[in-house]
Amino acid sequence: MRPYRCPFAFALHAVVLLFSLVGFAGTPTVATTGPVLPSNTPAAKRGFDFFYNMEYDKAIHEFETLQKEIPNDPFVTNYLLSTVLFKELYRIGALDTESYAADSFLDQKARRPVDPKAKQRILELATQAAMQSEKQLAGNPNNVDALYARGVTRSLRSTYMGMAEKAWLSAIRAALGARRDHDRVLELDRNYAAAKTAVGVHNYIVGSLSWPMKVAASLIGVSGNRQKGLQLLRESAGADTISSMDAKIALALFLRREQKYAEALELVRGMVTAYPRNFLVAIEFANLENAAGHGPDAIASYRGILESYKQKKYALAEPELAAYGLGVSLRGQRRFDEAAEAFASVGKYPNIDKELAQRAALDSGEMYDTLKQREPAVKKYQEAIVFDSKSDLADTARKHIKQPYQFR
């Protein structure tokens, strides 16, 4: 897989990523102060487990039940909003971390259009949660739980507007509002661990911008520090709250970019153990192993994922991503015959993304060329061209048809 990197060239869009990156597996919320919270109820605990295992329909049922029991709580509404939102983001293909490997994601269309009914419910729940927080803040402007809940609602609205609608200006406004809310929470209560997740992500992203981009960001009141961001995320990840899962997700992604693979692998390994039915966490662990140079381990992990898929152990899955990652790892180990087969298998899975299928066909052809098997290589190049004859990948395939690919 391509090494993960954030689109740091766009200062304002980086603000939106504050929340969309954390959305890798979801963003349920929990406060750390005040009275006993709805997060401690059996329904909520079941809902969180279903959510992080990507069993979204079951999670929705639990949170709807909880909302009937506690109808005016913004936390509960945010639980439900998170689940409905990320179920839809997964359906349209917006939760793959590889989508953020290039700045082109800003204009990239979703694999599938947003469901109008899902859109309506997402916006209705966001409005409902915001009104519930505002009602509590009207009685006490320094209510940290209400401030935090409003910030989460704004972050979820930002995530939807950016990732689903590509309405970046609206997303940015909501993201900045969320950052202000969570900054205020930490001013009032430095130990409010859940708020450290969002503020930590924001600090890391903005702190990683080039100097000119930092200056541009400062003009709209956005500042950041990369090391401070990592520290805040470590603190949130180590806290005993539901939001610690989100902090671990973001921290692992950033540690991967910092090439601190040992720490990242330890974090994600724990997530795989805690949520064995979460395909996205499993694939990220295999990606990390490969990025860390542990090729044989990555190969075993990708094959394990594909076997688990066959045994229907995942609630939701995109096995083609594991098949492609397997091909990349095998190629890295110079096991070209197995890599050719792995790449060729990618296109056999249903509902596959056209660009991934095209890339896999091209890569398979290159492996056959490396093995001096010209006939199957040309066949794969021709297959790649059929997917999209006007793409850069098709142009590369045409070049290989004229002159065999040479592995470097």
Which residue type is seen at 105? F
- Window from 96-100, 126-130, 213-217, 263-267 with minimum mean pLDDT: 96-100
Closest CA to 276 of 321, 319, 325, 314: 314
Q: What is the mean pLDDT of the segment spanning 299-310?
A: 98
Whole-angstrom distance, CA of residue 94 vs CA of residue 20: 9
- Span between the terminal Cα atoms of the chain, in Å: 17
Q: Is the pLDDT of residue 18 over 50?
A: no
pLDDT of residue 182: 92
**What's the CA dihedral at 110, 111, 115, 120 to 10 degrees?**
-20
Backbone angles phi, psi at 400, to 5 degrees: -70, -30
| DSSP three-state, residue 278 | strand
Instruction: Judge whether 339 and 323 are in contact, CB under 8 Å.
Output: no
Structure confidence at residue 212 (pLDDT): 73
The 10s digit of each residue's pLDDT in 363-379 is 999 999 999 999 999 99
pLDDT tens per residue, range 168-186 = 778 778 888 888 999 999 9
- The encoded tokens of residue 345 equal 């298998």
Which among 153, 147, 21 is positioned nearest to 76, based on CA atoms?
153
**What value does the mean pLDDT of the chain take?**
85
Return the pLDDT at 101: 41
CB of 372 within 8 A of CB of 337? no
Encode pLDDT of 260-277 as tens digits.
999 999 999 999 999 999
Count of Cβ atoms closer than 10 Å to residue 176 Cβ: 20
Is 242 or 139 the better-scoring residue by pLDDT?
139
Residue 352 has pLDDT above 60, yes or no: yes
Residue 221 has pLDDT above 70, yes or no: no
Phi/psi-derived region of residue 293, left when phi > 0, alpha when psi is between -120 and 50, beta in every other case: left
pTM score, whole prediction: 0.83
Predicted confidence (pLDDT) at residue 61 exceeds the cutoff of 60: yes
Longest alpha-carbon distance in the chain: 75
